[in-house]
Amino acid sequence: MAPLVANYYLTYRCNARCHFCNIWALEPPAEADLATIEHNLKDLRRLGVKYIDFTGGEPLLRTDAPEVYQAAKKLGFYTSMTTNTILYQQKAKSMQGLVDFLNFSLDGGDAETHDQSRGVRIFDTLIKSVELAHSLGENPVLNHTVTAQNYGRIDEVGELGQKLGARVWLNPAFTAYEHYNSKKNPTTEMIEAIKSSASKYSCIGYNRAALAFIADGGNDTSNPRCKAVDAVIAISPDDKLLLPCYHFAQDGVAIEGKLYDLYKESEKVESYRQSQGKLSVCEGCTVWCYLIPSFFMGIDKYWWLNGLSNAEEFFARKKFLQTV
């Protein structure tokens, strides 16, 4: 089966200072030029990838972001982008129609909560960005990371989503979060809070497979569910293939214009393919960037729950947009 997704890191630079993320504190590497990205996109197409999440950092810090997305759309990819919205109002028109799944990061239902989490004052920018996106015919989703600090206040986010006429997607904070924040995320309490809020607000969606996976303790290295190498291709800003994934990368292999051959024939890639989900860092993992695509591979309860969630979200989003 061909890989489903490419997580393409355009930059590690970020203009926010989120408490649950450390990418903004890293020394950013050199970034590949547009020609290199375009060549990799062609190889990704040859490999069978259908969906590309151009991510970061803040992807809109790339001045050539519109050209990157244009190249992807010309090759027939579905595209996504998650932005903190600081630059969205400046870039919105140049990005119009190029992003199939547009996500705005939201950390709280009010300015104080959101801005404290983001480390910068951007709540008003977020609100204006939603309004601008709607005026351009875009339908941004408010992407809300549910953490130990905020799981008791999800209803406030639901209220905001209803007010703005925007869908809210609840992402349980994954295990990598605990590497740079000592307060561990709850399991039962978080799951129940997500389900409770979703039952009350028509704008809220979540992935059933993700909650079941949390309840089951995450990835089990003795019987791994993660297919990080098979399902996802992760590329760094400096043109390296990250193995087995970005969050727990053990290796970064220089692509140098040979992504197709590297992914298909490299002994190193094959070695990580054989050990995906089995490494010590994989124990208990709940990094959804790799697990959600993994759930498409292999029929089990997570496959069914993931499929059910996708179907529910498709119809819920369609119905919700008809009411706003």
**What average pLDDT does the segment 193-221 reach?**
95
Is the pLDDT at 192 greater than 90? The verdict is: yes
Which pLDDT value is given to residue 164? 96
User: Measured between alpha carbons, how far is 152 from 147 in angstroms, rounded to an integer?
Assistant: 9
324 pLDDT band, cuts 50/70/90, is low
Is the pLDDT at 179 greater than 60? The verdict is: no
Which pLDDT value is given to residue 308? 97
**What average pLDDT does the segment 188-212 reach?**
94
49-59: per-residue pLDDT in tens?
A: 999 999 999 99
Give the chain's count of helices (H) and strands (E). Answer: 13, 10
CA distances (Å), 62 to each of 28, 65, 239, in order? 13, 5, 15
Which pLDDT value is given to residue 182? 44
Which pLDDT value is given to residue 71? 98
Q: Look up the CATH number of the domain holding residue 242.
A: 3.20.20.70
> pTM here?
0.94
Query: Based on the structure, what is the number of domains in the chain?
Result: 1
Q: List 105's β-bridge partners, or say none.
A: 143
24 pLDDT band, cuts 50/70/90, is confident
Is the pLDDT at 149 greater than 90? The verdict is: no
**What average pLDDT does the segment 195-209 reach?**
96
Which pLDDT value is given to residue 184? 54
* Eight-state DSSP code of residue 28: P
Q: CA 289, 178, 223: angle at the middle one, nearest 5?
A: 55
68-82: per-residue pLDDT in tens?
A: 999 999 999 999 999
DSSP string covering 123-190, please?
A: HHHHHHHHHHHHHTT---EEEEEE-TTTGGGHHHHHHHHHHHT--EEEEE--GGGGGS-SSPPPSHHH
Q: What is the mean pLDDT of the chain?
A: 92
Q: Which two tokens stand for residue 89?
A: 């109002």
Position 221: which residue type?
Answer: T
Percent of the chain with pLDDT over 90: 81
User: Measured between alpha carbons, how far is 98 from 244 in angstroms, rounded to an integer?
Assistant: 29
**What average pLDDT does the segment 178-187 reach?**
51
Contacts of 193 by beta carbon, 8 Å cutoff, 6+ apart: 146, 151, 152, 154
Its domain, for residue 9, covers: 5-323
User: Measured between alpha carbons, how far is 78 from 246 in angstroms, rounded to an integer?
Assistant: 21
**What average pLDDT does the segment 93-107 reach?**
97
- How do the residues of the chain divide into helix, strand and coil, expressed in percent and rounded to 5? 45, 15, 40
What does DSSP say about strands 251-254 and 240-243: parallel, antiparallel, or unpaired? antiparallel
Is the pLDDT at 300 greater than 60? The verdict is: yes
